[in-house]
Amino acid sequence: MCQGHMHEFLKALPKCEHHMHLEGSLEPSLLFDLAARNNISLPSPAEDPSFESIDTLLARYQRFTSLDDFLHYYFIGMSVLVTPADFEALAYEYFRRAHRDGVVHAEVFFDPQAHTSRGVAYAAIVDGFAAAQRRARADFAITSELIVCVLRHLPVEDGARMYRDAIPHLESGVVRGLGLSSTEKGNPPHLYRDIYADAAARGFRRTAHAGEEAGVDYMASALHHLDVMRVDHGIKLPEDAAVMALFAQRGIMVTMCPLSNVELRCVPTVAALPIRTYLDNGVRFSINSDDPAYFGGYVLDNHCAVQDAFGLDKKEWERIAGHAIDGSWCSDERKAELRKHLEDVMVRFQD
């Protein structure tokens, strides 16, 4: 178990989280509270006994069989979010827990299409999240950025419409970048090339989920067709040495989510992830929680799981944390602050 000195070090390490879906931080207790308050009917016990109680739901979360099996619960869960205050409460609670885990900068995804399709206004979502971001900065000194995701299980044109609605926020910086999430297999990155070409032409930052359930070809497609700066998950590079070399050479960061990959059966154990391979081959990565309310751990749990599996030394963690700062989409001034924070922690924990 990751305990003692190394645990304290990992907790103190200034962490940048780049792969966390705000809707995936909806803990069952808040889910049931909001369902009652907003009069949202959840599946009946006859339809799905998992929704009988917090405990039965948490038990079901421990038995996901695939990405789509998880997404089924993820989209039902977020149907309880209605008002700007709901979105604010959700995000603020995530920031509180992230601060507890030593996160100093967070770049967080959200899925407008899953809310606007239920009649929730796009502005209500972003207003709620923006209020939580302001409070998190004041209360916890956490800086954060929003990344708007296109949902790939829906028609491409639906995503294109959502993207067009988000352009003013992408231009103003209220939303910092564009992402691509949901069902991966059968929805390859190249289908989204027009949206991403427009985003590139406007100078918006771009990332995409690829190489989670699907193979390295999806990662190569994200790079070549979407011209992404990062790839989310991206655990399939060992399948193709040439693509891995390209990621290393271009400094394309992959945002890994160890507990998510185990819970969704993408790998049998954390030890099966290519952490050591990526360190040895110069592939940059950050360690993230993906959907912490569903996968049984926030960002520090994910760091501890990697430590338990790979027994990294402090210099290696310094490199990982440094790459996470470099790969963040915040200002150069903020990056300089984060690097100073990292240096201070390395001095404090020197052997």
List the binding residues for Zn(2+). Answer: 19, 21, 209, 290
Which of residues 169 and 185 has its CB atom nearest to ligand HPA in the complex? 185
Closest CB 21 distance from ligand HPA, rounded Å: 4
Distance (Å, whole) CA 118 – CA 252: 36
Which of residues 6 and 289 has its CB atom nearest to Zn ion in the complex? 289
Catalytic residue among 212, 213, 263, 318: 212
Closest CB 337 distance from ligand HPA, rounded Å: 29
Which of residues 111 and 290 has its CB atom nearest to Zn ion in the complex? 290
212 is catalytic: yes
Instruction: Indicate the residue type of 315.
Output: K
Two tokens, residue 244: 């891995």
SS3 label, residue 321 = helix
Two tokens, residue 241: 């040495």
φ, ψ at 139 (rounded to 5°)? -85, -35
Q: State which of positions 197-256 bind Zn ion (CB under 5 A).
A: none
Closest CB 335 distance from ligand HPA, rounded Å: 27
Chain position whose Cβ is nearest to ligand HPA: 181
Give me the DSSP letters along 277-307.
HHHHHT--EEE--BSHHHHT--HHHHHHHHH
Closest CB 24 distance from ligand HPA, rounded Å: 5
Cβ atoms of 120 and 80 within 8 Å: the answer is no
Distance (Å, whole) CA 144 – CA 59: 31
Q: Which residues bind ligand HPA (CB under 6 A)?
A: 21, 24, 67, 74, 181-182, 209, 212, 260, 290-291
Is position 290 an interface residue for Zn ion (rule: CB under 5 A)? Answer: yes
Cβ atoms of 150 and 192 within 8 Å: the answer is yes
Point out the residues that are catalytic: 212
Binding footprint of Zn ion on the chain (CB under 5 A): 290
